[in-house]
Amino acid sequence: MSGPLALLDAGNDDPPQVLPPFDDVYVAHSANVYRFCLSQLGDAAAAADVTQDAFINVEVLAQHHSELERATTAILQLRTQERELIGLRVAADLSFREVAAVLGMSEQAAKVATRRALRKLRSKLEDKTNV
């Protein structure tokens, strides 16, 4: 595949990284983060607040990472043309006419195929056992 979606196929064959549970990260690092914050701020209450904010941000990022990994897995389960259609229409924000021109099909065929591909992707994302 070439074009904007080539990166989806260019990934390595390593298994996806599994993040440790948030509680484990917190227990392992919170005391060190707090001590660092305290050394920089000189105020115990402010250090506690900054430590809490830092770990809230870590948890939010971990959740986003998990959602992104799930979406990527679902996208990679689609056929190449389905990924191209979605990528061109959604990610590249091309019109159906432009998508049709890039993929060498009629505008109507691009509309129908894109809608089917999006429906299939939604189905994969809703089916938690499949992703």
At residue 39, the pLDDT reads 94
Q: How many residues are there in the chain? A: 131
Query: Are residues 128 and 101 part of one domain?
Result: yes
CA distance 51 to 28: 13
Q: What is the mean pLDDT of residues 1-27?
A: 55
Query: Are residues 52 and 26 part of one domain?
Result: yes
Query: Are residues 63 and 103 part of one domain?
Result: no
Angle at CA of residue 41, ends 38 and 46, nearest 5° = 75
Burial of 64 (0-12, 13-18, 19+ CB in 10 A): exposed
The residue segments making up the domain with residue 25 are 20-76
SS3 content of the chain, % helix, strand, coil (to 5): 75, 0, 25
Look at residue 96 and tell me if it is in a domain. Answer: yes
At residue 2, the pLDDT reads 40
Look at residue 1 and tell me if it is in a domain. Answer: no
- Look at residues 76, 99, 122 and tell me which one is the last residue of a structural domain: 76
CA distance 17 to 31: 25
At residue 17, the pLDDT reads 56
Look at residue 14 and tell me if it is in a domain. Answer: no
Q: What is the pLDDT of residues 78-110, one digit of tens each?
A: 999 999 999 999 999 999 999 999 999 999 999
Q: What is the pLDDT of residues 39-86, one digit of tens each?
A: 999 999 999 999 999 988 888 888 888 889 889 999 999 999 999 999
Query: Are residues 98 and 72 part of one domain?
Result: no
Give, in order, the Cα–Cα distances in Å from 3 to each of 43, 71, 122.
53, 20, 23
Look at residue 29 and tell me if it is in a domain. Answer: yes
Work out how many domains the chain is built from and give that number: 2
Asked whether the whole model's pTM tops 0.85, one would answer: no
Look at residue 15 and tell me if it is in a domain. Answer: no
Look at residue 11 and tell me if it is in a domain. Answer: no
Look at residue 39 and tell me if it is in a domain. Answer: yes
- CATH number of the domain at 83, please: 1.10.10.10
Give, in order, the Cα–Cα distances in Å from 32 to each of 28, 49, 55, 123.
8, 14, 12, 44
Query: Are residues 83 and 70 part of one domain?
Result: no
At residue 1, the pLDDT reads 39
Query: Are residues 93 and 72 part of one domain?
Result: no
pLDDT of 131 strictly over 70: no
